[in-house]
Every structure is written in C-alpha cells, then in structure tokens.
C-alpha cells in the first residue's frame, strides 16, 4: 500500500470517529501518561507551529507517532502516542543531536496525532522527499529576453530546445523582469505565457500547443505532481537556483477549457515586509497609525480587495509592535509572510482548525497581540471583538472597498453597536498603485478637463496636503509611463500603497454607537483629516510618483 493511500484512509478514519471513541482514546492516552509519569496533552488546544513540525518529517512522524510541535530557543516540545517506543526515542535523540536539546515529551492520543499530522505545511505533505531543484545559469538571466524572443520566433517551426531548457529560459526571464508569477494559459491554437510584474499581468510570448504540453509535463515532474491527472487541481513546488540563491516556486495546475492552466509563484520575489514609513503613507496617516500601534488593547482593521496590500500592511504593523516579552499569535489562511517572533498558525478547516475554533484555542494561550487573517463569519467577528475589549491588541482584515465600509460590514455580520464602537481603534483601507520608472517617465501638461476632474475629486481635502491653486499653475506637469530596458518596457518599477485611514474616537465612536449611516461616518472621518483612496492616489499623481491611468485602474477594483 502506498503511503499516500494510507494517509487518506487515516484521515477518513479520523473523520468517522465518534465523540465517544475520541473520549476513549484520550482516556487511554491519560492512562499511558500516568504509567510513564509524563504529562498528557491535547494538541487541539495548542497553536502548533509549522516550523516546529518540520523538525520531524511528516513520514517519520506518521511512522513513529511522534511530533515536535513547539520550539522557542531551547524550549523544544514533542508529543508521542507512545513515548516508550524505541522508534520514538530514536526520533527524539535525532532532534537532540541536531539542535543540542532533548525535547520535552508529552503523551497524546492517536486523535491528537492525526490532528498534528494535518497541520504540516501543505508542500511537505505526501511521500515526496526534498523538493527538486532546477539550476539556472547566472549568465542566462541577462540573455533571457533575447532567448524568449528566439522561442517566440520559432513558434510552429522546429525548435531545438528541450522542455527543461525552455523552462529554464522562462524562469530566467521572470527573475530578470522582477515577475512574481508566471502564467501559462492554453488556448485553441497556442499557449500564452504571461508574467505578473508589479501586480499586472504582461503578455510575454506564445508557445505552440505541442511545446506547451511538453512544458506542462516537465513542470509536473519537477513539482512532483501526477502526470496522468488532468481533471482536478494539483499543487506542488520546486526550487529554482541561480548561483547560491534559491527561490521557492509554488506550482498550481488547474483544469481549464482547453487544457491545464499553470501558475508558478516565485515566493522570494514577493514584497518583503517593509518598515512602516516605506508603505507609502503620507505623514498624517503614518502618525495616526503609529499612535494606535502604541495601544495595548483594541482592534486594528485593514481592508481592501485581494491583492491590495492589506496583509503586507498588517505584517508590517505586527513587526513594528512585536517586542521580546510580548506573545504574538496569528491565525492565517494561508500564512503569507514568515514573521520573526510571531507564533503563526494556519487555518485547516478539514481538521477542524477553522478561524473560529483556532481563535478560541489561541485565546487560551494568553497572547498579548493576535492577528486574525480575515473575518468572514459572525463567530470569528464576535470572538475577535471580545478579545479586543479584554486586553488584547487584535489585527484583522476585511474585504470592503473603503474604510467606513468596514464598520457597515461588521454591523451586517451581526456585531452589536455597543461592542463595535469601543472595540475598534483604527481602520485602514488601501490599494496599490504602480510607481513610475524614474529612467523613462515622461512629463506632460494635464489638459483642462483632467484638471477640473481632479479639482472635483480633491474638494474638501485639507490645505496642508493639497492647494487647489496648483491646478491653475501653467507650470503644472504630470508624468506618464513610457518604457525602457530597466523597467522591461512596462514603464513602472515597484508599487506603493494609497490609503484612507481613520481612528475611532470621540465623534466617530458616537456615530458608530448610534448606528449612523456610513456616509455620516465617512464625513466625520474626512473632517478628522482622512483623505479617500482616490484623493490619496491623486496626491501621488501630483507628486509624479504614479499616473492618472493607475488611479483609474485601482478605481475599478
Ligand atoms: Zn523605464
């Protein structure tokens, strides 16, 4: 029997266990613990860290019934169904040999073990050993664009490239052009290759269907996916190495209309966690955020559509507030950034570790600061707000278009006004705009219509940020994108945030408490100095950082 099959059966078996059987298992585990004079524990109540789990490979954990679930400095904790087993002793001795500390061991039930096994990071599931590595010659990076053109020119004709060579060129091109994702999309007659650069998909070349098919097979083998499975989504990963620098590549294959869609995500290319002042906030917004980060209790909300940078903002805030001596725990779906000093846990709904259940077990761990990846349901909202009112600083995200809309969303989810108003400290809504390439941006004089449009949008903005008379200045120039070698013809290099930020005090708190219209909350926020996302974006146009077209693009999101 293949390991994978036994895993699936194990999971199905666990799912069918009745509450009675689980109790029976826990009683047996307690009895074993007493006999061995070791502590007994339930792993469900503990935020298991994927990083600690990885100290014992999943296959070993499954075979021996032993896991390491916690590691903080020399405090390493393991759990085993039967710690007296010599195989378990060997696992613990191996950890000691590698880390210099013998893990403290507790006794757990088979049920707890299955739960721990389900918490292993997805990429290390299954029977696979270490991930495959694809080397890319450093000098190929500089030639990648030309090589891609050569591939495009040969489409339909004979091309003397192996699928591996083609994949190497595609990866080299992506690395060279600062792409975060590579998309291969089969159509009726050809496969389109696109790179996501600064958040926008850019067409690169097309490949003929035969080459696309061979490329798909090569990627599947590298990512340890099943070659003969075409009808269901598959996820895997491999590593691309240039010199000594390794980049994780997450592979997602989805069945599509005419073939399988492939997306390769280049993980180390993602925006790194920034310092607060590098997020792109103007001084007023930054000051409001920094004041609220000094609080030790209350809720900080970050809102926006997918890909708006809201998780980056929260990760940056968490990094800013985290200090030794504080316990910071996160519950995410999935974990997007590895944050030093934060106990990060990942939602695993099939294993029962939902946002609501996970949050309850995190609260039993006596945290100071909690990051709830997203509020989607009433129970999570309720528990989060309760935590914010009882001495925790709670960070979370919501899918709403603007900052005042976050209040409405939480009201719709079912939160009472009298808990909402005192719980929320700060609301940040945001989008990302692309930053013009300084090497090729061109300046132009905005025409009268555009200037009047901006005058309308900017009405009511505090004079310290915007003086309408600049629109009448004949010397006024905006900048537009062009394209050069440095920015790989996109006209842009990197992205920055545009924000609307308000803190909940005095007037706004009273309005929320009274159940006021969102429009009233918005007006009060603007009176307190908030600029809307569109206004903040135009401030960045006036500063020559981004373009009018970028403002239009984010307005449609
Ligand atoms: Zn350029």
Please report the DSSP string for 428-476 in residue order.
EEEEEEEEEPTTT-EEEPPPHHHHHHHHHHTTT--TTT--GGGGG-TT-
**Ligand 1 center to residue 253 CA distance, Å?**
33
Q: Which is nearest to 432 in space by CA: 314, 265, 260, 550?
A: 550
Same domain, 255 and 292: no
**Ligand 1 center to residue 289 CA distance, Å?**
33
**Ligand 1 center to residue 492 CA distance, Å?**
6
**Ligand 1 center to residue 45 CA distance, Å?**
52
What is the C-alpha separation between 536 and 285, in angstroms, rounded? 10
Give the pLDDT of residue 272: 59
Same domain, 516 and 441: yes
**Ligand 1 center to residue 488 CA distance, Å?**
7
Residue 127 lies in a domain: no
**Ligand 1 center to residue 425 CA distance, Å?**
41
**Containing structural domain, residue 204:** 133-269
Two tokens, residue 549 = 């077209």
**Ligand 1 center to residue 442 CA distance, Å?**
10
Residue 126 lies in a domain: no
**Ligand 1 center to residue 436 CA distance, Å?**
8
**Ligand 1 center to residue 481 CA distance, Å?**
8
Last residue of a domain, one of 269, 290, 321: 269
Same domain, 386 and 432: yes
**Ligand 1 center to residue 164 CA distance, Å?**
31
Residue 111 lies in a domain: yes
Find out whether 218 and 167 touch, Cβ atoms under 8 Å. Answer: yes
Task: Profile the chain (557 residues) by mean pLDDT over runs of 10 residues.
Answer: 41 55 86 90 80 82 89 88 88 84 91 84 46 89 90 74 93 92 91 91 91 94 89 84 85 82 78 79 96 96 92 92 88 81 82 86 88 93 95 95 93 94 97 95 97 95 92 96 89 94 95 95 95 97 96 88
**Ligand 1 center to residue 479 CA distance, Å?**
12
Number of residues assigned to the chain: 557
**Ligand 1 center to residue 471 CA distance, Å?**
27
**Ligand 1 center to residue 76 CA distance, Å?**
50
Q: Which is nearest to 479 in space by CA: 509, 449, 441?
A: 441
Same domain, 209 and 289: no
What is the C-alpha separation between 431 and 554, in angstroms, rounded? 7
**Ligand 1 center to residue 437 CA distance, Å?**
5
Residue 536 lies in a domain: yes
**Ligand 1 center to residue 551 CA distance, Å?**
19
Query: Which is it for strands 393-398 and 328-332: parallel, antiparallel or unpaired?
Result: unpaired
Tokens 């709670």 correspond to what residue? 394
Residue 458 lies in a domain: yes
**Ligand 1 center to residue 545 CA distance, Å?**
13
Two tokens, residue 20 = 């009675």
Q: Which is nearest to 378 in space by CA: 410, 419, 342, 352?
A: 410
What is the C-alpha separation between 52 and 68, in angstroms, rounded? 6
Please report the DSSP string for 93-158 in residue order.
HHHHHHHSSPPEEEE--HHHHHHHHHTS-GGG-SS--SPPEEE--HHHHHHHHHHHHHHHHTTTS-
Find out whether 495 and 198 touch, Cβ atoms under 8 Å. Answer: yes
Q: How far is CA 335 from the centre of its chain?
A: 6
Domains: count for the chain: 3
What is the three-class DSSP state of 31? helix
Q: Which is nearest to 327 in space by CA: 314, 337, 342?
A: 342
Bridge partners of 13?
A: none
Give the pLDDT of residue 381: 95
Same domain, 508 and 538: yes
**Ligand 1 center to residue 485 CA distance, Å?**
6
**Ligand 1 center to residue 553 CA distance, Å?**
20
What is the C-alpha separation between 13 and 111, in angstroms, rounded? 10
Same domain, 104 and 148: no
What is the C-alpha separation between 246 and 266, in angstroms, rounded? 10
**Ligand 1 center to residue 433 CA distance, Å?**
16
Q: Which is nearest to 232 in space by CA: 252, 209, 212, 211?
A: 252
Same domain, 39 and 140: no
Residue 128 lies in a domain: no
DSSP 8-state secondary structure symbol assigned to residue 302 = E
Residue 12 lies in a domain: yes
Same domain, 74 and 207: no
Give the pLDDT of residue 97: 80
């Amino acid at each position: 029997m293949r390991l994978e099959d036994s895993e699936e059966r194990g999971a199905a078996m666990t799912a069918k266990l009745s509450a009675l059987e689980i109790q029976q298992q826990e009683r047996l585990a307690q009895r074993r613990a007493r006999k061995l004079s070791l502590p007994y524990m339930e792993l469900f109540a503990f935020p298991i860290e994927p990083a600690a789990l990885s100290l014992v490979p999943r296959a070993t954990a499954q075979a021996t019934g032993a896991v390491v679930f916690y590691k903080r400095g020399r405090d390493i904790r393991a759990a085993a169904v039967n710690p007296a087993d010599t195989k378990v002793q060997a696992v613990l001795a191996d950890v000691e040999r590698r880390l210099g500390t013998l893990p403290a061991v507790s006794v757990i039930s088979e049920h707890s073990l299955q739960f721990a096994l389900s918490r292993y990071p997805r990429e290390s599931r299954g029977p696979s050993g270490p991930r495959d590595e694809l080397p890319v010659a450093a000098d190929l990076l500089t030639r990648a664009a030309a090589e891609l053109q050569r591939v495009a020119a040969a489409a339909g004709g004979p091309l003397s490239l192996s699928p591996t060579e083609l994949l190497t060129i595609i990866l080299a091109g992506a690395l060279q052009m600062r792409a975060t994702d590579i998309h291969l999309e089969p159509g009726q007659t050809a496969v389109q290759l696109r790179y996501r650069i600064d958040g926008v998909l850019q067409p690169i070349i097309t490949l003929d269907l035969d080459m696309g098919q061979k490329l798909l097979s090569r990627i599947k083998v590298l990512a340890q996916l099943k070659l003969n499975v075409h009808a269901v989504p598959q996820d895997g990963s491999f590593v691309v190495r240039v010199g000594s620098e390794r980049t994780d590549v997450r592979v997602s294959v989805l069945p599509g209309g005419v073939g399988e869609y492939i997306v390769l995500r280049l993980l180390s290319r993602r925006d790194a966690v920034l310092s607060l002042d590098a997020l792109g906030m103007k001084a007023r917004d930054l000051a409001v955020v920094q004041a609220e980060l000094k609080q030790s209790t209350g809720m900080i909300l970050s809102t926006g559509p997918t890909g708006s940078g809201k998780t980056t903002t929260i990760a940056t805030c968490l990094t800013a507030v985290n200090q030794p001596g504080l316990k910071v725990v996160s519950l995410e779906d999935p974990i997007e950034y590895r944050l030093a000093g934060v106990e990060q846990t990942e939602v695993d709904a099939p294993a029962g570790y939902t946002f609501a259940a996970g949050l309850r077990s995190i609260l039993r761990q006596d945290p100071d600061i909690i990051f709830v990846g997203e509020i989607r349901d009433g129970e999570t909202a309720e528990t989060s707000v309760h935590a914010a009112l009882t001495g925790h600083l709670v960070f979370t995200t919501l899918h709403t278009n603007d900052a005042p809309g976050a209040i409405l969303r939480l009201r719709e989810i079912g939160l009472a006004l009298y808990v909402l108003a005192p719980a929320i400290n700060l609301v940040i809504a945001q989008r990302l705009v692309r930053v013009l390439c300084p090497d090729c941006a061109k300046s132009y004089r905005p025409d009268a219509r555009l200037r009047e449009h901006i005058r309308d949008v900017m009405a009511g903005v505090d004079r310290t940020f915007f003086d309408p008379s600049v629109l009448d200045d004949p010397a006024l120039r905006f900048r537009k994108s062009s394209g050069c070698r440095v920015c790989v013809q996109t006209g842009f290099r990197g992205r920055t945030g545009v924000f609307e930020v308000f803190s909940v005090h005095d007037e706004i708190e009273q309005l929320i408490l009274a159940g006021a219209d969102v429009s009233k909350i918005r007006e009060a926020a603007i009176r307190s100095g908030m600029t809307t996302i569109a206004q903040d974006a135009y401030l960045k146009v006036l500063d020559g950082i981004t373009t009018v077209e970028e403002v239009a693009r984010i307005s449609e999101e």
